[in-house]
Amino acid sequence: VWQGRPNARAVATRVFHARTIALYFVALVAVHMVYRLMDGAVMADILLDTAWQAALSAVAVGMLTFLARLYARGSIITMTNKRLVMRSGVALPMIVNIPWSNVKKAGLRVCNDGTGDILLTPVDDRRLFYFMLWPYVRPWHFRPVQPLLRGIEQPPAVARRLAKVIAEERETDIRPAPAPSPSSATGSSDYEQPIPAL
């Protein structure tokens, strides 16, 4: 149904917080420069201190950005008509299978960079582990563990495909029953609407 990789820039921003850390380093260098000026230091010494601090800051932010690219390149998200398959990891790739029958609800958040995050809430999370799913998991939510598809490009289109697949899966599960209950019918209609925003 759909297959893709997360956007590396989105992973750097929302997982590794590279932009926030870069702003922190800029503020730190600026404060140190002002402190040295008020202390009466020579401008040449101030510029020398600022240069090596800026270089170290750039190395730190560059490492985070490089890690984000590695994780984005090593991740493949595949949606079939029966399940979601997530492969992620750099040194030790992990594969997680989530049947659509185990998805209770889903939510979509579209970010300013044009990418989006799709949050899945499972019916049963006993076979889902936070550190196995990281970084594609909702932060600081250990129970229930909620898979989070990060940095999805064209998120509305992917969300519509997801909603259609889950609706079809639930309709298939209902058809064999001789007399489906009203609660089952109501459950299947939840995904006939677009995925709600988080």
Summarised one tens digit per residue, pLDDT across range 55-80 is 999 999 999 999 999 999 999 999 99
Is residue 100 within 8 Å of 120, Cβ to Cβ?
no
Whether the per-residue pLDDT at 196 is higher than 60: the answer is no
Average of per-residue pLDDT across 30-38: 88
Is residue 170 within 8 Å of 183, Cβ to Cβ?
no
pLDDT greater at residue 90 or residue 195: 90
Is residue 148 within 8 Å of 178, Cβ to Cβ?
no
Is residue 167 within 8 Å of 192, Cβ to Cβ?
yes
The three-state secondary structure class of 39 is coil
Structure pTM? 0.74
Structure confidence at residue 151 (pLDDT):
93
Question: For residue 38, what is the enclosing H or E element?
Answer: helix 18-38
Split at pLDDT 50, 70, 90, the class of 193 is very low
Of 152, 189, 184, 191, the residue nearest 2 (C-alpha): 152
Is residue 8 within 8 Å of 72, Cβ to Cβ?
yes
